[in-house]
Structure 1
Amino acid sequence: MTDQHLHILKHLTNHFGAMPTLLWDPNEEDPQIGCAYFPADKTGRPWGTLCSVGMSLTPMELDEQAEDTDTKRAEIIVYVNETDTELDDIANWIRWAGAFPFLQEPQTFLGWGHTIHMDHLFDNSELTTLLTLSSIVTADNEPAFQLEGDDVGFIWLTFLTDAEYAMKKEKGVNAILDLFGEHEHPVTLDRTRKSYV
């Protein structure tokens, strides 16, 4: 990890109130994005939290479709059940998603309501699509710290099935949020959940 990554990690440790217990090193190619795991028993939260480390080092290119809540610097966040100990697959998707805006030509951004269809995300899972939202966890809903004068926010990464993705494309992200509400969609990732559609 570079000094810049350690600086981000210090901010994240301060935000979550605990040191991470697992670290995935940043990718070797640019953009260099790692991942850290903050367990529930250390943070006092009811779930574990995985967070990218380094996405915020590069500002994203916001365009006219950006929402007021979107920040040009952000880190990706995923919540997991404390009993979930197989975290490599999630950490790898977090690192991939954190690099995604900077690998596009031209560069882009991830923000509220964006989807990336992937076909296959997890073994034995119907989930196929990344969905980025503002976190529903109040503590993670506001910018967490500043970097070079810019606010750094969290982007909550959650996941959709093919049918849910089709619904999102047809009816918009609010239809998905309504669906989540009807089904009491958990804060934590459940790789094995069945489609709500």
Structure 2
Amino acid sequence: MLWEPNEEDPQVGCAYFPADKTGRPWGTLCSYGMSLTPMALDEQAEDTDTKRAEIIVYVNEGETELDDIANWVRWAGAFPFLQEPQTFLGWGHTIHLHNVFEHSELTTLLTLSSIVTADNEPAFQLEGDDVGFIWLTFLTDAEYAFKKENGVNAILDLFGEHQHPVTLDRGRKSYV
């Protein structure tokens, strides 16, 4: 387990929805509990950022090792509330962690609006606030450095050039 919450930490879980339950060609992992606490948006928040959100990751239906991914979903869902002062996750944010998965070049969490159109609309409302999804995808060290130097739009261009998959590919090689 990557993060073991204590009683003071936000209680964020992760649910798995297989393809046959969603009608999509992939499975979906989604945090739950993150949206119960509003994030602390600041002046760097984009118009698309919402103070209440849940983390979403898409996985190939054949993916059998979901525990590590689910733990990253849970950890990312709690991340804004574990900071002092509290912060937020929004479009284009990165969290560099070094080793995300065993035998993988992926080292960094990148949060974006989902590339699945249906998941870009608010999922529901809580206390009058829209709750949206934040798509969690992953970068290599070289891509992280490229993003820091050139911005998130440059990473999105790379994703487009390389037909970045909707689903997580933990064995993906760097696009840079």
Q: 1:41-78 deviations in whole A, cap 9, x for unaligned? A: 11111110000010000000001111111100000000
- Residues 61-100 of structure 1 mapped to structure 2, 5 A cutoff: 61-100=40-79
More helix per residue: 1
Q: Is 1:128 matched with 2:100?
A: no
In the aligned structure 2, how far is the partner of 1:27 from the partner of 1:188?
27
SS of 1:79's partner is strand
Unaligned stretches of 5+ in structure 1?
1-25
SS of 1:180's partner is helix
Residue 28 of structure 1, CA deviation: 4.4
Q: Is 1:159 matched with 2:138?
A: yes
Q: Is 1:50 matched with 2:49?
A: no
1:185 aligned residue (136, 139, 164): 164
Kindly provide the amino acid, as one letter, of the partner of residue 68 in structure 1: D
Instruction: Indicate the structure whose relative CO is greater, using CA pairs within 8 Å and at least 6 residues apart.
Output: 2
- How many percent of aligned residue pairs carry the same amino acid? 89
Unaligned stretches of 5+ in structure 2?
none
Runs of 4+ aligned structure 1 residues displaced above 3 Å come to: 26-29
Residues 131 and 158, structure 1, Cα contact 8 Å, conserved in 2: yes
Say how many residue pairs are matched.
172
Q: Is 1:176 matched with 2:155?
A: yes
Kindly provide the amino acid, as one letter, of the partner of residue 57 in structure 2: V
Residues 27 and 34, structure 1, Cα contact 8 Å, conserved in 2: no
SS of 1:97's partner is helix
Residue 102 of structure 1, CA deviation: 0.4
